[in-house]
Amino acid sequence: MEQFSLPGYSDGNLSFRGRMFAENIHADEESGCILRVRMFLTEDNRLVHSIVFSANQHKYSQTHILSRDGDLWLLDNGLERFTLSRDLLFILVKDASSKDDKDLNAALDSLMAVA
């Protein structure tokens, strides 16, 4: 497990110990836009979703903590809380991963069993 400090959580940083399990970077060379999406599993079995978007001299960061509540997932950015179904969580994880759907479903099922 490593120590992380991610920007964009409630106008500050979110610090936690864990491991990154998915990352994807989308770049548009023509416009200069870069989107980096990462997913982490914390040592206390929460998921962390991090998005960093940059274009020209502008940078936007958003970090969310996901915790399980029965069959639903709570998404918390420090200011607001949202509820996600497993299907919506799958979309978030898929965006951060290069795995195919079968491998991703197995990984998500494993994470849900732990959380």
CB-count burial class (<10 Å; 0-12, 13-18, 19+) for 37: buried
Residue ranges in the chain assigned as alpha helix (H): 86-95, 101-114
> Model confidence over 73-111: pLDDT tens digits?
888 888 888 888 877 777 767 666 655 656 556 655 655
- The answer to whether the CB of 55 falls within 8 A of the CB of 32 is yes
Question: 88: which residues sit within 8 A by CB, 6+ positions away?
Answer: 73
Phi, psi of 109 (to 5 degrees): -60, -40
Give bridge partners of residue 69 from the DSSP assignment.
Answer: 72
pTM (whole model) above 0.85: no
| Residue 112 pLDDT class (50, 70, 90 cuts) | low
